[in-house]
């Protein structure tokens, strides 16, 4: 049965309008993005098949162009649309951070860092450089590693902090495995960077680890 013949409250677009985007399932959100199904398959059913094929929304969003285009009912047009949507989301969150005081809303920072790092298939170590009022000066990805580890050098963080005239920084990196629990290496490098930044009078406010769930704050755990 075509979606247009479904009860209105079950149609993804109408459901989003009346209940908000958060009320939709991953398949319903993807169906709105896909817009149409294929012969004999509704957009929602196609979305379910695509999510099953990729193993979930995270894998779909982080797929390379080649991997994405192999998906049933997908292609270059959908890939470019998706990349545009993801980039708009990143820029929107960045603009909000530029306007607002960063560390008064840790959840906002979590949302921004998740949009930047959650879908990367390799480990990325990034820094938020902040002014004296903890407003964002710049987000910069400094180190890149394999899926297992990234080489992080405190002197490079110090150098970048001086170049950006930062008064404080927030560190962040992702765990491509999806598990955001801090390792001994994460705690160790945080301490080394904190000590190095103290020499130039720059405060380390926090270090977030981004995985599949809510990013973990080392400061909230008393590890900064």
Give the tens place of pLDDT for each residue, 45-90: 888 888 898 888 878 888 888 888 888 778 888 889 888 888 888 7
Given the DSSP bridges, would you call strands 168-174 and 124-130 parallel, antiparallel or unpaired? Answer: antiparallel
Question: Using an 8 Å Cβ cutoff, are 131 and 167 in contact?
Answer: yes
Q: Dihedrals φ, ψ of 36, to 5°?
A: -135, 160
Angle between helices 154-163 and 184-198 in degrees, nearest 10 = 40
Sketch the domain layout of the chain as residue ranges: 3-74, 90-217
Q: For 133, which DSSP code?
A: T
Residue in the structure block whose two tokens are 């991953």: 26
Indicate the pTM of the whole model: 0.69
pLDDT, mean over the chain: 86
- Lowest mean pLDDT: which of 91-95, 142-146, 186-190? 91-95
pLDDT confidence of residue 221: 93
- 1 pLDDT band, cuts 50/70/90, is very low
Q: How many CA atoms, within 13 angstroms, populate the side-chain half-sphere of residue 13?
A: 9
pLDDT confidence of residue 106: 80
User: What is d(CA 77, CA 90) in angstroms, rounded to the nearest whole number?
Assistant: 20
As given in the structure block, the two tokens for residue 41 are: 């398959």
CATH topology of domain 90-217: Cytidine Deaminase; domain 2 (3.40.140)
Q: Which residues contact 131 (CB under 8 A, 6 or more apart)?
A: 137, 165, 166, 167, 168
User: What is d(CA 122, CA 120) in angstroms, rounded to the nearest whole number?
Assistant: 6
Local structure of 79: helix, strand or coil = helix
Residue in the structure block whose two tokens are 């390792």: 183
Q: Which residues contact 197 (CB under 8 A, 6 or more apart)?
A: 154, 157, 158, 161, 169, 203, 204
Question: Using an 8 Å Cβ cutoff, are 177 and 217 in contact?
Answer: no
Q: Which residues contact 100 (CB under 8 A, 6 or more apart)?
A: 108, 135
- 119 pLDDT band, cuts 50/70/90, is confident
Local structure of 137: helix, strand or coil = strand
Question: Using an 8 Å Cβ cutoff, are 129 and 138 in contact?
Answer: yes
The residue that leads in pLDDT, 180 or 106, is 180
């Amino acid at each position: 049965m075509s979606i247009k013949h479904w009860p209105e409250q079950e149609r993804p677009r109408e459901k989003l309008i009346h209940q908000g985007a958060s009320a939709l399932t991953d398949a319903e959100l993807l169906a709105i993005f896909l817009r149409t199904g294929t012969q004999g398959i509704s957009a929602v059913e196609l979305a379910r098949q695509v999510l099953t094929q990729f193993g979930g929304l995270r894998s779909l969003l982080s797929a390379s162009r080649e991997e994405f285009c192999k998906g049933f009912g997908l292609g270059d047009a959908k890939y470019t649309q998706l990349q545009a949507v993801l980039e708009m989301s990143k820029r929107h969150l960045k603009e909000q951070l530029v306007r607002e005081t960063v560390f008064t809303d840790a959840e906002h920072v979590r949302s921004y860092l998740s949009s930047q790092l959650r879908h990367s298939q390799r480990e990325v170590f990034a820094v938020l450089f902040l002014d004296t009022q903890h407003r964002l000066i710049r987000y910069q990805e400094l180190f890149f590693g394999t899926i297992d580890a990234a080489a992080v050098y405190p002197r490079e963080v110090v150098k970048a902090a001086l170049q950006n005239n930062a008064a404080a920084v927030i560190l962040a990196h992702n765990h491509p495995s999806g598990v955001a629990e801090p390792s001994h290496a994460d705690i160790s490098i945080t301490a080394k960077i904190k000590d190095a930044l103290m020499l130039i009078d720059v405060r380390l406010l926090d270090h977030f680890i981004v995985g599949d769930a809510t990013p973990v704050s080392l400061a909230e755990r008393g590890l900064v």
